[in-house]
């Protein structure tokens, strides 16, 4: 596809209540004003960023909802969930297609300040998803602070960051999303939440979609909002052929 139409849903998540969040996003997705190819939801969109997954981590219920919603809307759906699998918990990014294909990425960089490393197992490698001729790198929240992990050595087209990024550090979020787009010559999509969570941390959104030069295509401030953007392969081709920054990057391996 020459273009990829994206909707990002910035939401006030219901704390540790998967059923309520599924109902909420069901209504929000049904309210979309435009036909899109991809819908992106925040990090841990069914619970909020909780360190108490016992009894509420997904064992298939929300994944099945994602699959049903993707099939119904005839578009892909992406976001992260707390997942219980093989007696372990993961903060897992899911990308599901209307055909029923599922790609997963387990969050690599766990947020030690919140004790995430004590609860959730670590992912071992980056994951690039192929969808409708587009190559999409999956990332989760704290991954944004580690540019080497998102380094574009595979010629991917889009990087997606789903997050629960608090208001007190929102300027880092906003700046780094643009930086990842510029340094990797790709589209950057960041989807955050708004509102207060169960720990009384405040979130003010700033979800955004940026092109490969860091220009803003869509942006949401501190409100529940759906933003839209149309990504263009021609834009990527033109900027990469003209500037060719990726060919000049240093070569090294991530251990």
Mean pLDDT lowest for which of 93-102, 160-169, 238-247? 238-247
Measured in whole angstroms, how far is the alpha carbon of residue 243 from the centre of its chain? 27
Mean pLDDT of the chain: 97
**Annotated active-site residue in 14, 16, 43, 116:** 43
As given in the structure block, the two tokens for residue 216 are: 């803003």
| pLDDT over 90 at 109, yes or no | yes
pLDDT number for residue 252: 76
b/e map 115-147, b = 16+ CB within 10 Å: ebeebbbebeebbbbebeebbbbbbbbbbbeee
pLDDT bucket at 70, cuts 50 / 70 / 90: very high
Residue 80's DSSP bridge partners are: 93
Helix (H) or strand (E) holding 8: strand 3-10
For residues 27-46, average pLDDT: 97
Q: Is the pTM of this model over 0.95?
A: yes
Q: Is residue 75 among the annotated active site residues?
A: no
Backbone angles phi, psi at 84, to 5 degrees: -110, 120
pLDDT bucket at 113, cuts 50 / 70 / 90: very high
Neighbours of 35 (CB within 10 A): 10
Backbone angles phi, psi at 193, to 5 degrees: -110, 175
Write out the DSSP string of 173-209.
HHHHHHHHHHHHTSEEEEE--EEE-TT--EEE---EE
Place of tokens 């030069």: 213
pLDDT number for residue 225: 98
| pLDDT over 80 at 254, yes or no | no
pLDDT number for residue 253: 75
As given in the structure block, the two tokens for residue 158 are: 């889009």
**Annotated active-site residue in 69, 141, 178, 183:** 141
pLDDT in tens, 150-173: 999 999 999 999 999 999 999 999
DSSP class of residue 222?
S
**Annotated active-site residue in 14, 69, 107, 178:** 107
pLDDT number for residue 251: 80
Share of the chain above pLDDT 90, in %: 96
Share of the chain above pLDDT 70, in %: 100
Can you tell me the distance from the alpha carbon of 249 to that of 214, in angstroms, rounded to the nearest whole number? 18
| pLDDT over 90 at 250, yes or no | no
DSSP class of residue 123?
P
């Amino acid at each position: 596809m020459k273009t990829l139409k994206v909707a990002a849903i910035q939401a006030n998540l219901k704390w540790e209540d998967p059923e309520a969040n599924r109902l909420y996003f069901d209504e929000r997705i049904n309210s979309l004003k435009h036909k899109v190819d991809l819908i992106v939801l925040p990090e841990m969109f069914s619970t909020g960023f909780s360190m108490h997954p016992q009894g509420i981590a997904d064992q298939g219920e929300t994944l099945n909802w994602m699959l049903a919603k993707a099939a119904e809307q005839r578009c892909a759906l992406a976001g992260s969930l707390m997942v219980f699998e093989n007696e372990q918990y993961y903060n897992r990014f899911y990308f599901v297609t209307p055909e029923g294909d599922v790609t997963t990425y387990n969050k690599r960089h766990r947020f030690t300040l919140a004790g995430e490393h004590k609860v959730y197992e670590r992912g071992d490698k980056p994951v690039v998803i192929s969808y409708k001729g587009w190559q999409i790198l999956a990332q989760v929240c704290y991954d944004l602070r580690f540019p080497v992990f998102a380094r574009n050595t595979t010629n991917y087209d889009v990087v997606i960051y789903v997050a629960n990024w608090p208001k007190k550090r929102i300027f880092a979020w906003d700046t780094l999303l643009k930086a990842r787009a510029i340094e990797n010559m790709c589209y950057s999509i960041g989807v955050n939440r708004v509102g207060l969570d169960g720990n009384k941390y405040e979130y003010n959104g700033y979800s955004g979609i940026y092109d490969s030069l860091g220009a803003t295509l869509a942006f949401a401030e501190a409100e529940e909002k759906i933003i839209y953007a149309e990504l263009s392969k021609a834009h990527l081709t033109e900027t990469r052929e003209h500037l060719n920054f990726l060919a000049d990057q240093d070569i090294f391996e991530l251990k």
